[in-house]
Chains A and B, each alone.
Chain A
Amino acid sequence: MSAAGTAAAAGELRTHGLAYSAGQRLILSGIECALPGSAVTGLLGPNGAGKSSLLRLIAAVLKPTSGQVSLAGTDLRSLKRKERAQHLAFVDQQVDADVPLSVADAVLVGRLPYRPAYAPETIRDELIVQRSLAQVGLEGFGARRLDSLSGGERQRVHIARALAQQTGVLLLDEPTNHLDLNAQNGVLDLLRGLARGGSTVVAALHDINLTAAYCDHVIVLAGGRVVASGETASTLTPGLIRSVYGVPAVRLDNPLTGRPVFAFGGTDQP
C-alpha cells in the first residue's frame, strides 16, 4: 500500500482571496488559486514575491489577514491542528541546525499528529517510518545520524518525515536549494512519483528550468500577486519571464527530455 495514497482522496486544494501582511507591509493579496491533485505545482517568482509566505499560509503555519484555504471544500483553519496535520505536510527551507537525531527518529517525528502527547510510538509507527524511508530511497539509513548525511539525503529524510505524516498534500519550500544537480533531479523525480501516486505536491522553486522540466502546473507570483498560473508548458513563456524577472529569455526544446528549457540573456538595460 502507499503511505501517501491512503489520504489521496484529498480533494482539491484552493485558496480564496488570500491576503497576508506582516505589520504594515503587505506581503500577499488577492491570491486565488487552485492546486490540482495528482500533480506537481511549482511556485515561481522573484525573491520577496511571497512564495514562502503563500506556502506557510496554505500549511496554516501563518494566519492570513483575510481569505481562506480550503481542502475539498473545507476551510483548513476550521480543523483541529492535529487533524490538519493529517491532511497537509510541510517541508520547510533547509535549516542547517545540527540536529543530533537519528534518521529514523527524525522521520518518526512525522507521526506526532497521530498520537496523544504522552503516548509512545507503536510498532505501526515504526513500520510507517521504515516504509517512508524506503519510499525516498533511504532504506537502511535509519540508524545513521542526520548530520552525517549529504544535503540531498537530508532533504529526502525531510520528505520521508512528510510521508510518514500520511497526508494527501505535500508542501515544500525550495526543496532543491543547496543540492547538486543529481540530488536536485533525484528530489524532483521523487516528488513527481508521489504526485503520480495521487498526492497534491506544491513546491516553491527558484530554478525556472527545473520548474519547466518537472512541474505539471505553475503559479507565478510577483509583488505579492499571482501574475500567471496554469499548465507549465503553456504558462511559462519568454514574455512572462521577461516581465517578472526583467531578464530576456528564449525558449528551446531539451532534446534529452523533450521538455522546454529556457536560455537567458543579460539583464534588460533600457
Chain B
Amino acid sequence: MSLQHRARPGAPPTSRFPAAARRAGARPAALWPLALGGVLAVSVVLALTIGPADISPLQVARSAAERVTGAGTSPAGGDAAALSSVQEAILWQLRLPRLLTAAFVGAGLALSGAVMQALTRNPLADPYLLGLSSGASLGAVSVLLLGAAVVLPLAAFAGAMAALVLTLSLAAAAGSISPSRTVLAGLAVSSAASALTSFIIFFSAKGDSYREVLNWLLGSLAGSTWASVAITAVAFLLAGIPILLTGGLLDGFSFGDNAAGALGLNVPVLRWVLLAGTAVLTGAMVSVSGSIGFVGLILPHAVRLLTGARHRVLLPAVALAGAVFLVWADTLARTVFEPREIPVGIVTALIGAPVFAVLLWRRKARS
C-alpha cells in the first residue's frame, strides 16, 4: 500500500508540486496578522475622533502633523481645521493615551489567553486562570479603601504576582505542575482572594468608594494616562514579544506532554517560563485596567476560526485582534451612555457572552 510511495525514489513532479502548492495554498493564513495590523491602525485613528468633543479625522491629522513638525500654526484666525486648546488636550491627554492603553491591554490579555489555552489544553482557560485577577483585585481594593490610589497599579501587580506564586507552589506541592493541577490550584487561590476582597469591601467601603471599587473590579480604562501606556507598552515589549516569537513551540504541546517531550521540548521548564511570562504580562495589564473579562477567553477562539490553530500565526493575529476589540469596546463604553460612562468590562462581557454561546453552538454542530 502506502509503502510503494517510499520505494519510488523520486515521485514524478506532477504529484509533488500540486501537493506543495496545496500546502502553500494555506499560506494566506499568514496574511491575517498584516490585515489585522491595518485594521488596528485605522481603528485607532477612527476611535480618536469619536466622542462628545467634535474632532474630525482631518483635525487629528493636522494636529499630529503640527506636533511632529513642532510648527504651531497661529491659533489666531478662524481656521476651521484647527483644534481649540481644550480639544487638543482631550485628544492628546485623554483619548490617545486611553486608546493606546486599550490596545496594549487588549493585545496582552488576548495573547495570554491563547497561551494559557494551549499550555493547559483547556479551551475554557483564560489569562486569569492562575488566580491573577483575584490577586490583583485584592491588592487594588486594599489600597483603594486605604485611600492610597496612587500606588494602585503597584498593589494590583503585587497582588497578581502573589497569587501566581501561591498557585504555582500549591500545584507544585501536589506533584508536578500539570495542567489540571494548575487549574485546580488557581481556582483555590482565586476563591480565597475573592473572599478576602469581598470581606474588605463589606467592612470598609462607604459612599463613593463603592463605585470606585466596582469600577476597578469590572475593569475600566477611564483613568488611563500616558503612565498607563508606558506600563502596558513595556510589559508587552518585555513579555509579550518574546512569547509571540517562540509561539511555534506551543504547537508541540498539542498532543500531550509526553509527545512534546519526545519532540525535544523541555516540557516542565517551557511550561513554567510561559506560565510565568503570561502571568507577568497579564498582571501588568490588570494593574492598569482592572480585570476586564472575556477578552482573553473569547478572542483566541474567534481568531482560531479565522487563522487556524497554528500558534506561529495565531499568536500575532490574536494579539492584534485583542487590541482592535478592546479599542472598540472601550469606545462604546465611553460613548453609548453619554455623558455617563460604563466600565468596559461590562461591554466585553455583553459582547463576549453571546459570542461564546455561538462558538459553543458551532462546536456542537461540528461534532
Interface, chain A (partner B; CB < 8 A): 1-3, 5, 56, 59-61, 80-86, 88-92, 95, 97-102, 104-106, 108-110, 112-113, 117-120, 123, 126-127, 129-131, 134-137, 139-140, 142-143, 147, 158, 161, 165, 171, 186, 189-190, 193-194, 196-197
Query: How long is the Cα–Cα vector from A129 to B24 in the complex, in angstroms?
Result: 12
**Contact at B248–A189, with CB atoms within 8 Å?**
no
Q: Which 8 A-B pairs have the closest CB atoms?
A: A85-B264, A137-B2, A90-B262, A193-B3, A82-B264, A61-B261, A100-B309, A113-B264
**Contact at B5–A135, with CB atoms within 8 Å?**
yes
**Contact at A59–B2, with CB atoms within 8 Å?**
no
Residues of B within 8 A of A117 (CB): 245-246, 248-249
Known contacts A82-B264, A134-B5, A137-B2; A92/B248 CB under 8 A: no
Known contacts A56-B258, A118-B246, A130-B19; A109/B251 CB under 8 A: yes
Known contacts A81-B265, A85-B264, A113-B264; A190/B246 CB under 8 A: no
Contact residues of B: prevailing secondary structure = helix
**Contact at B23–A129, with CB atoms within 8 Å?**
yes
Chain B, 230-275, CB within 8 A of any chain A CB:
245-246, 248-249, 251-252, 254-259, 261-266
Given contacts A85-B263, A105-B251, 9 further A-B contacts (CB under 8 A): A56-B258, A61-B258, A90-B262, A92-B258, A102-B308, A104-B26, A106-B255, A112-B265, A190-B2
Residues of B within 8 A of A84 (CB): 264
**Contact at A118–B245, with CB atoms within 8 Å?**
yes
Residues of A within 8 A of B2 (CB): 134-137, 190, 193
Query: How long is the Cα–Cα vector from A61 to B268 in the complex, in angstroms?
Result: 11
Residues of A within 8 A of B309 (CB): 99-101, 105
Chain B, 1-52, CB within 8 A of any chain A CB:
1-3, 5-6, 9, 11, 15-16, 19-20, 22-26
**Contact at A89–B251, with CB atoms within 8 Å?**
no
24 CB < 8 A contacts A-B: A61-B258, A61-B262, A88-B262, A101-B251, A101-B308, A109-B251, A112-B248, A118-B245, A120-B248, A120-B312, A126-B24, A130-B16, A130-B23, A134-B2, A139-B5, A139-B15, A140-B19, A140-B22, A143-B26, A161-B255, A165-B263, A171-B262, A193-B1, A193-B2
**Contact at B308–A95, with CB atoms within 8 Å?**
no
Query: Does B121 sit at the interface, judged by CB under 8 A?
Result: yes
Q: How far is the CB of B78 from chain A (nearest CB, A)?
A: 56
Query: Does B62 sit at the interface, judged by CB under 8 A?
Result: no
Query: How long is the Cα–Cα vector from A132 to B20 in the complex, in angstroms?
Result: 13
Residues of B within 8 A of A127 (CB): 16, 20
**Contact at A112–B264, with CB atoms within 8 Å?**
yes
Residues of A within 8 A of B249 (CB): 112, 117
A84, closest chain B residue (CB): B264
A161, closest chain B residue (CB): B255
Query: How long is the Cα–Cα vector from A97 to B256 in the complex, in angstroms?
Result: 9
Interface, chain B (partner A; CB < 8 A): 1-3, 5-6, 9, 11, 15-16, 19-20, 22-26, 121, 245-246, 248-249, 251-252, 254-259, 261-266, 304, 308-310, 312, 366-367
B3, closest chain A residue (CB): A193
Query: How long is the Cα–Cα vector from A139 to B11 in the complex, in angstroms?
Result: 12
Most central of A88, A106, A147 by chain B CB within 10 Å: A106
**Contact at B6–A2, with CB atoms within 8 Å?**
yes
A102, closest chain B residue (CB): B308
Query: How long is the Cα–Cα vector from A194 to B73 in the complex, in angstroms?
Result: 77
**Contact at A190–B23, with CB atoms within 8 Å?**
no
Q: How far is the CB of B127 from chain A (nearest CB, A)?
A: 20
Residues of B within 8 A of A98 (CB): 367
Query: How long is the Cα–Cα vector from A104 to B24 in the complex, in angstroms?
Result: 11
B259, closest chain A residue (CB): A92
Q: How far is the CB of A35 from chain B (nearest CB, A)?
A: 16
**Contact at A143–B263, with CB atoms within 8 Å?**
no
**Contact at B252–A112, with CB atoms within 8 Å?**
yes
Q: How far is the CB of B59 from chain A (nearest CB, A)?
A: 42
Residues of A within 8 A of B23 (CB): 104, 126, 129-130, 142
Query: How long is the Cα–Cα vector from A126 to B19 in the complex, in angstroms?
Result: 10
Most central of B1, B255, B312, B366 by chain A CB within 10 Å: B255
Q: How far is the CB of B339 from chain A (nearest CB, A)?
A: 44
**Contact at B1–A189, with CB atoms within 8 Å?**
yes
Query: How long is the Cα–Cα vector from A110 to B263 in the complex, in angstroms?
Result: 7
**Contact at B26–A123, with CB atoms within 8 Å?**
no
A120, closest chain B residue (CB): B312
B27, closest chain A residue (CB): A126
**Contact at A97–B246, with CB atoms within 8 Å?**
no
Residues of A within 8 A of B1 (CB): 137, 186, 189-190, 193
Query: How long is the Cα–Cα vector from A72 to B195 in the complex, in angstroms?
Result: 59
Query: How long is the Cα–Cα vector from A136 to B6 in the complex, in angstroms?
Result: 10
Known contacts A102-B26, A109-B252; A59/B6 CB under 8 A: no
Q: How far is the CB of A213 from chain B (nearest CB, A)?
A: 16
